[in-house]
């Protein structure tokens, strides 16, 4: 670090950072979680620029940006080093901020324009088998009282719709239609984007059982709000609590890698199982709420085991 390691960021840098965050909140409609991540990343960047003697966006050079990316990966700035995937998120925040400064006349150029994040290994999303999903769902509904009915309904809905955990707990009762054969959920995705996805019969039955036999008892402890999924105090179930529901169910189910199962595992499994069953990738894209089909296409990668199985089954001279 240089002589500015303990210096406070200048009002110009702090003001430009806040103006960009306000722009993201008002003009782009980003979620609070995304805004919090951007604020954290840009706070780190502004502190780094201060150590290099920069007091306003117009003074920042491409060398500053590249040095920051290196420090993020190595922890040279005194903060925790980040993996390639997290570094890519930080670089995206820096790119956006500098483009904003250029458009707002706070800087004559974009010093981050040619800076790219470190390459990331392309990994297949983690998914579990249909048998493992069924074991987890069964485990979630074990026990007496309203909570197991709620837990089963939450996980059935997550797997049936491919919803993000925040989308599922954000549902209100009126966001769900449970007519036989026409079940659907209205989900609110990133940036407040709405999509309507089908709800399968197993999830519909689980949610109906919860609404009739469990939710009234849970609602009695609160103010009777519109939230679909309630905690034991009658308030909306939180993301953290829903995460805990899945974690406990995975442990009770006895499946392998139970500690690695997360709400995103059900989302990944939803997509993987649909594609394996012959669903078109663009349909899965719409169901997941992906802005680009490129994001969805990672699920279509073929594993070495699958290649081997198809080869053995299909090639006339694979086996003697």
Q: Which fold has domain 3-103?
A: DNA polymerase; domain 1 (1.10.150)
One pLDDT digit (tens) per residue for the chain, 320 residues: 444 556 789 999 999 999 999 999 888 877 888 889 899 999 999 999 999 999 999 999 999 999 999 998 888 878 888 887 788 889 999 999 999 999 999 999 999 989 887 776 656 567 899 999 999 999 999 999 999 999 999 999 999 999 999 999 999 999 999 887 778 999 988 777 889 999 999 999 999 999 999 999 999 987 768 999 999 999 999 999 999 999 999 999 999 888 889 888 899 899 989 988 888 888 889 898 887 777 777 776 655 666 666 677 777 777 65
Contact criterion met (CB below 8 Å) for 268 and 126: yes
**Catalytic annotation, pick one of 164, 204, 268, 273:** 164
Residue 304: per-residue pLDDT: 60
Tell which CATH architecture fits domain 130-305: Orthogonal Bundle (1.10)
Q: Which two tokens stand for residue 188?
A: 């609110």
| Beta-bridge mates of residue 186 | 196
Q: Examine the residue annotation and report whether 315 is marked as an active-site residue of this protein.
A: no
In the annotation, is 290 catalytic?
A: yes
* Active-site residue, selected from the candidate residues 44, 236, 267, 273: 267
Active-site annotation holder among 40, 126, 190, 252: 190
- As a whole number of Å, the end-to-end CA separation of the chain is 67
CA angle centred on 303, ends 299 and 306, rounded to 5°: 115
- How many angstroms separate the CA atoms of 119 and 134, rounded? 36
* Six-digit token string for 94: 């820096």
Q: Whose structure tokens read 């990133």?
A: 190
What local confidence, expressed as pLDDT, does residue 246 receive? Answer: 94
The catalytic residue among 264, 282, 311, 317 is 264
Catalytic residue among 20, 45, 210, 299: 299
Catalytic residue among 54, 204, 215, 290: 290
Is the pTM of the predicted complex or chain greater than 0.85?
Answer: no
Going from N- to C-terminal start, the domains of the chain cover: 3-103, 130-305
């Amino acid at each position: 670090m240089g002589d500015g390691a303990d210096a406070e960021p200048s009002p110009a840098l702090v003001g430009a950072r806040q103006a960009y965050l306000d722009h993201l909140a008002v003009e782009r409609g980003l979620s609070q979680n995304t805004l919090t991540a951007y604020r954290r990343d840009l706070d780190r960047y502004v502190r780094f620029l201060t150590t290099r003697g920069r007091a306003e966006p117009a003074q920042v050079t491409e060398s500053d940006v590249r040095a920051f990316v290196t420090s993020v990966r190595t922890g040279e700035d005194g903060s925790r080093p980040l993996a390639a995937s997290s570094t890519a998120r930080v670089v995206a925040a820096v790119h956006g901020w500098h483009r904003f400064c250029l458009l707002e006349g706070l800087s004559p150029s974009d010093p981050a324009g040619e800076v790219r994040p470190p390459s990331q290994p392309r990994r297949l999303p983690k998914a579990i088998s249909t048998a493992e999903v069924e074991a987890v769902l069964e485990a979630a509904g074990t026990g007496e009282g309203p909570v197991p009915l709620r837990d089963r309904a939450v996980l059935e809905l997550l797997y049936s719709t491919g919803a993000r955990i925040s989308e599922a707990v954000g549902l209100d009762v009126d966001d769900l239609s449970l007519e036989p054969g026409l079940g659907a959920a209205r989900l609110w995705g990133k940036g407040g984007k709405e999509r309507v996805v089908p709800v399968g019969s197993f999830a519909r039955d689980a949610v109906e059982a919860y609404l009739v036999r469990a939710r009234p008892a849970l609602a009695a402890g609160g103010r009777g709000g519109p939230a679909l999924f309630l905690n034991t105090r009658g308030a909306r179930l939180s993301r953290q609590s829903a995460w805990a529901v899945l974690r406990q169910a995975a442990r009770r189910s006895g499946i392998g890698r139970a500690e690695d199962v997360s709400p995103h595992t059900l989302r990944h499994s939803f997509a993987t199982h649909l594609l394996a069953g012959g669903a078109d990738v663009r349909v899965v894209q719409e169901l997941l709420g992906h802005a680009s089909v490129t994001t969805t296409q990672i699920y279509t990668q073929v594993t070495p085991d699958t290649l081997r199985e198809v080869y053995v089954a299909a090639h006339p001279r694979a086996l003697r």
